[in-house]
C-alpha cells in the first residue's frame, strides 16, 4: 500500500498520475484557479434518485508558482448523495524546506466564467490540513455545498461553471 507520508514529492506525483490519473498543476500565488468543472459537476446535478452510481470523488494535485519551492497540495472532493452534499477539503501532502511551519488555508467559491454566480459569493474557507492529520481531520476540515442549492441555481449546467479555489497564508 502506498504511504504518502513516507514518499518523496516525486513519488507522490508519480503515484497520483499513474494510479488516479491526477496530474500536478502549478498555480499562481494568491490567485483563484479552477479546482473542478465540467462533467463531474454536471453528473452531480443531473443524477436522479435511484440512478446508477456516478463518480463520487475527485482529486486535484497542485503546487504553487515555483513547484520545487512549494509544498504539494491535494484537493479532495466528495459527493454524498444520501446526505445531499458536495464536500471539498485540502491536504498539504509534502513540504518544502522553504516553507516549513507555514500554515495555509484554502477558499472555495462557486463561479460562472470566473465570477460569483450571485452578487455575493457562495463558498467558504477552511484550514489546509497536513497529511499526518488525515483522515480524521478531513471529516471536519471541509467546505460543504448542498446539492439542492446547486440545482436551484443551475450550477453545473452551463459552460464556465466551476468550483474555484485559492490557497492563502494563515497568520496567527
pTM score, whole prediction: 0.82
Q: Where are the domains of the chain?
A: 26-169
What gap in Å lies between CA 106 and CA 104, rounded to an integer? 7
45-63 residue pLDDT tens: 666 555 555 557 778 888 8
**Per-residue pLDDT tens digits for 30-49:** 778 887 776 667 776 666 55
State the pLDDT at residue 169: 84
Q: Kind of pairing, strands 85-94 and 129-130?
A: parallel
What's the sign of the alpha-carbon dihedral 10, 16, 21, 25?
A: negative
Considering only the top CATH level, what class is 26-169? mainly beta
Q: How far apart are CA 77 and CA 34, in angstroms?
A: 13
pLDDT at res. 125? 92
If you compute the radius of gyration of the chain from its CA atoms, what whole number of angstroms results? Answer: 16
Least confident interval from 59-68, 87-96, 157-166? 59-68
85-139 residue pLDDT tens = 888 999 888 776 666 678 889 999 988 888 887 767 789 999 888 877 766 776 7
Amino acid at each position: 500500500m502506498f504511504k504518502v507520508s513516507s514518499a518523496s514529492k516525486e513519488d507522490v506525483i508519480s503515484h497520483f498520475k499513474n494510479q488516479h490519473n491526477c496530474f500536478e498543476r502549478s498555480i499562481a500565488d494568491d490567485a483563484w484557479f479552477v479546482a473542478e468543472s465540467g462533467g463531474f459537476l454536471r453528473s452531480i446535478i443531473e443524477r436522479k434518485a435511484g440512478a446508477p452510481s456516478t463518480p463520487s470523488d475527485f482529486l486535484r494535485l497542485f503546487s504553487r508558482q515555483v513547484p520545487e519551492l512549494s509544498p504539494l497540495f491535494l484537493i479532495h472532493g466528495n459527493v454524498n448523495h444520501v446526505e445531499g452534499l458536495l464536500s471539498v477539503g485540502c491536504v498539504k501532502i509534502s513540504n518544502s524546506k522553504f516553507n516549513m511551519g507555514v500554515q495555509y488555508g484554502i477558499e472555495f467559491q462557486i463561479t460562472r466564467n470566473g465570477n460569483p454566480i450571485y452578487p455575493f459569493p457562495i463558498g467558504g474557507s477552511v484550514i489546509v490540513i497536513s497529511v499526518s492529520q488525515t483522515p480524521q481531520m478531513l471529516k471536519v476540515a471541509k467546505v460543504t455545498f448542498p446539492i439542492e442549492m446547486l440545482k436551484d441555481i443551475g450550477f453545473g449546467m452551463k459552460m464556465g461553471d466551476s468550483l474555484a479555489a485559492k490557497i492563502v497564508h494563515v497568520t496567527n
